Amino acid sequence: MGTRTAREAAAEAIIESVAEAGLEVERPREGSFLVTLPGKAKLKTLVWLEVGPHSLTLTSFFCRQPDENAAEFYLWLMQKNSDMYGMAFAADEVGDVYIRGRLPLEGVTPDEVDRLLGCVLTYSDENFNGALERGFASAIRKEWKWRAERGHDMRNLRAFAHLVDTGTDA
């Protein structure tokens, strides 16, 4: 008959949006897309887009469970959820954090896919350092000290200099 199903239309919308944005994408199986988004604070964000029978599911790993200050860490992320479009921070059974979203297939257009991917990138990139500061400050301080003692590159730790009593040798 020539009519597309909602699943086919959604998959085509994803393909079009990703191609237009020039993003790296893998298709491990029909209806599944693994899109790589380049960032700044978080250098790379991987996003799974799964076209199901009735909805598009979006899943992106954000960070592992915190080493410390778990209550503050999770509360801070949950407070972010109220301002997020179409998705939210969620924890799995071990406490690792993901950005998850679900959209009815009827709403999946190339523009909406672009908007969702942009949101994932924004939420991941803008909140990454804040999450690390809350849940991994001791590890950051330890890494800073280790690198400083050995004269190693500190570039990717510079955003956390305020967590370290650096004196004059930062």
pLDDT tens-digit profile of 40-96?
888 899 999 999 999 999 999 999 999 999 999 999 999 999 999 999 999 999 999
For the stretch 110-166, pLDDT in tens is 999 999 999 999 999 999 999 999 999 998 889 888 888 888 877 777 778 888 875
3-state secondary structure of 107: helix
The type of residue at 15 is I
State phi, psi for 166 to the nearest 5 degrees.
-90, -15
For residues 37 and 25, what is the distance between their CA atoms, to the nearest angstrom?
A: 9
CB contact at 8 A, 94 and 80? no
Instruction: Please tell me the predicted confidence (pLDDT) of residue 151.
Output: 82
Domain 6-135: CATH architecture, name and number where available: 2-Layer Sandwich (3.30)
For residues 150 and 152, what is the distance between their CA atoms, to the nearest angstrom?
A: 6
The two tokens of residue 134 are 């809350």
Instruction: Please tell me the predicted confidence (pLDDT) of residue 170.
Output: 41
Instruction: Please tell me the predicted confidence (pLDDT) of residue 14.
Output: 98
Least confident of 1-5, 81-85, 100-104: 1-5
Per-residue pLDDT band for 1 (boundaries 50, 70, 90) equals very low
Q: Bin 122: left if φ > 0, else alpha if -120 < ψ < 50, else beta.
A: alpha
Ordered by start, the domain boundaries in the chain are: 6-135, 138-170
CB contact at 8 A, 66 and 53? no
- Listed in order, strand segments (DSSP E) in 68-127 are 87-91, 97-104
Task: Return the higher-pLDDT residue of 107 and 162.
Answer: 107
Instruction: Please tell me the predicted confidence (pLDDT) of residue 108.
Output: 97
Instruction: Please tell me the predicted confidence (pLDDT) of residue 169.
Output: 46
Chain centroid to Cα 71, Å, comes to 20
Instruction: Please tell me the predicted confidence (pLDDT) of residue 166.
Output: 56
- pTM of the full predicted structure? 0.87
